């Protein structure tokens, strides 16, 4: 019987699975699977014992539609079958089972979307400190990522209208105060909630907010800088920024608020740049912790990637580039890489004020480049060369002259000749690219015994070079196909 059940399951037909996992049949099915001797039976717990006695079905809001209840039970039983009942046996059929589960979820979301009161009741339970309501909201928001934006838009809009973000703000404020109000209220009502739940809730609230920002950030961004928040001097935004350097979850929220390039977010970015970024930048010094520097660099990198004019102005006004000088010379590769990525993007602004600040950190950059020791530092070295290449491509004579003068000052350095030759090759290659008669892909030389790192410096080539590279790749694919055909023949 067990083998028959296994064969039936692998058919993976929706209607057939619904029938065998129905209320009338599912215990028989899982009972038969208990006799599967191919399964590891160490610490084995009977499927029927777990499903009948240990499992508990919880509802935040009572679902009155019987068909929807059947769908919920079916989803759980099918997932239990995949994860526990026949986990080792149906790996090859996982994609079909996942598709069935997603179709069922789509059916449930249509019910939630069309229901007048369901989401209102869930939000009311959430407002009343119902832990199950919080878990439910996190789960449905996480499942949203598998569905079209239209479904998300309607439900997220309703959640926002029903006060989701007001409640999240209250939870965040209360969690920062240790839930003193809730504990006092529960004590008066002679109700007890385990300390474990109070420990879990702060992170779960932040996880819910992160999921909302990942899928549909517009509503929360609008809430964050709304007139109501303005009157109160933006308490929620302040809490997020103040805690972002102590908590990875708060930092993730902050990054999601400022990393998107869409027009809707411009006001959020502008407000952050005006209200918070100067304070964060002012606290960066050579005595700051590596963790603080890392977070600061990640925030700055997220901002600079947008290449918006207001970001250039803020970076310049707060002397941020000068702070990169001492970070570049610290023996912290992750910090150095982040710094180099930011400097590379700032060079692309081709702005005179930015160039003047870059000139001030050229001594630090040259010192780091001269310290190159070999293949173990290829990643750092290639990032440094990209910056040099961008400087030569930018045709800012002041910046180029300053770069070469700084290198010239160190001509007694043991590595000077090698680095000088690299700079010279980069400059010649850039001049060839900008020459109207030589719009072809340059050929780079191998320097000594080192790998030709120039080939990694491709992000800012001309359209002609990109087309040449594409033709080369297509040619390689064609040759690869021919070689495979020869092997087959």
**426-449 mean pLDDT:** 58
Angstrom distance (rounded) from CA 489 to CA 483: 10
DSSP labels, 430-442: HHHHHSTT--SPP
- The pLDDT assigned to 49 comes to 87
Angstrom distance (rounded) from CA 202 to CA 204: 6
Per-residue pLDDT of 270-324, as tens digits, reads 889 888 999 899 988 888 889 899 999 999 998 888 777 888 888 888 889 989 9
Residue 434 clears pLDDT 70, i.e. is over it: no
Q: For CA atoms 285, 288, 293, 296, give the dihedral sign.
A: negative
Angstrom distance (rounded) from CA 72 to CA 101: 10
Q: Is 28 helix (H, G, I), strand (E, B) or coil?
A: helix
Residue 84: CB atoms within 10 A of its CB come to 15
Domains of the chain: 2-114 (no CATH), 126-135+144-275 (no CATH), 280-445+452-457 (1.25.10.10)
Where residue 450 falls among pLDDT bands split at 50, 70, 90? very low
- The answer to whether 204 touches 217, Cβ cutoff 8 Å, is no
432 backbone dihedrals φ, ψ, rounded to 5°: -65, -40
- The pLDDT assigned to 485 comes to 42
Per-residue pLDDT of 80-136, as tens digits, reads 888 887 777 777 777 888 889 888 988 888 888 888 899 999 999 999 999 999 999
Angstrom distance (rounded) from CA 399 to CA 392: 9
- The pLDDT assigned to 10 comes to 79
What does the block give as tokens for 126?
């959430």
91 backbone dihedrals φ, ψ, rounded to 5°: -55, -40
- The answer to whether 59 touches 53, Cβ cutoff 8 Å, is no
Angstrom distance (rounded) from CA 426 to CA 442: 10
DSSP letter, residue 260: -
Q: What is the largest CA-CA distance in the chain?
A: 87
Residue 489 clears pLDDT 50, i.e. is over it: no
- The answer to whether 432 touches 438, Cβ cutoff 8 Å, is yes
Task: List the Cα angle 166/224/342 in 5-degree steps.
Answer: 140
Angstrom distance (rounded) from CA 41 to CA 466: 58
């Amino acid at each position: 019987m067990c083998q028959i059940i296994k064969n039936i399951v692998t058919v993976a037909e929706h209607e057939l699975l619904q029938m065998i996992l129905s209320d009338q049949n599912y215990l028989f099915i899982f009972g038969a699977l208990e006799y599967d001797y191919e399964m590891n039976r160490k610490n084995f717990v009977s499927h029927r014992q777990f499903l009948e006695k240990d499992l508990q079905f919880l509802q935040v809001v009572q679902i009155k539609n019987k068909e929807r209840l059947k769908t919920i039970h079916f989803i759980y039983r099918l997932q239990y079958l995949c994860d526990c009942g026949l986990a080792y046996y149906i790996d090859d059929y996982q994609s079909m089972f996942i598709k069935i589960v997603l179709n069922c979820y789509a059916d449930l979301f249509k019910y939630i979307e069309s229901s007048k009161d369901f989401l209102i009741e869930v939000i009311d339970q959430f407002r009343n400190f119902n832990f199950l309501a919080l878990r439910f909201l996190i789960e449905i928001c996480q499942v949203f990522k598998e569905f079209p934006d239209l479904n998300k838009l309607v439900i997220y809009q309703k959640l926002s209208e029903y006060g989701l973000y007001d409640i999240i703000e209250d939870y965040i404020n209360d969690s920062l105060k240790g839930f003193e109000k809730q504990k006092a209220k529960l004590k008066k009502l002679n109700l007890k909630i385990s300390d474990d739940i109070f420990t879990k809730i702060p992170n779960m609230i932040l996880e819910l907010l992160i999921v909302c920002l990942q899928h549909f950030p517009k509503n929360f961004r609008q809430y964050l800088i709304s007139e109501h928040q303005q009157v109160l001097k933006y308490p929620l935004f302040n809490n997020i920024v103040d805690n972002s350097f102590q908590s990875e979850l708060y930092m993730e929220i902050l990054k999601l608020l400022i990393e998107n390039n869409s027009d809707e977010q411009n006001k959020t970015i502008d407000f952050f740049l005006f209200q918070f970024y100067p304070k964060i930048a002012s606290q960066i010094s050579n005595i700051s912790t590596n963790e603080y520097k890392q977070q600061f660099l990640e925030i700055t990198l997220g901002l600079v990637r947008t290449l918006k004019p207001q970001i250039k102005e803020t970076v310049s006004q707060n002397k941020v580039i000068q702070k990169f000088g001492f970070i570049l010379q610290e023996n912290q590769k992750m910090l150095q890489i982040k710094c180099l990525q930011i400097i590379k993007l700032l060079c692309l602004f081709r702005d005179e004020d930015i160039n003047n600040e870059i000139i001030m950190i050229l001594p630090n950059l040259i010192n780091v480049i001269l310290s190159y020791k070999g293949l173990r530092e290829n990643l750092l070295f290639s990032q440094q060369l990209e910056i040099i290449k961008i400087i030569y491509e930018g045709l800012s004579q002041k910046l180029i002259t300053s770069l070469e003068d700084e290198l010239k000052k160190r001509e007694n350095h043991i590595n000077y000749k090698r680095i000088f030759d690299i700079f010279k090759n980069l400059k010649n290659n850039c001049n060839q690219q900008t020459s109207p008669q030589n719009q072809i892909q340059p050929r780079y030389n191998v320097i000594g015994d080192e790998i030709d790192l120039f080939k990694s410096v491709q992000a800012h080539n001309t359209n002609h070079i990109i087309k040449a590279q594409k033709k080369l790749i297509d040619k390689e694919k064609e040759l690869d196909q021919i070689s495979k055909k020869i092997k087959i023949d």
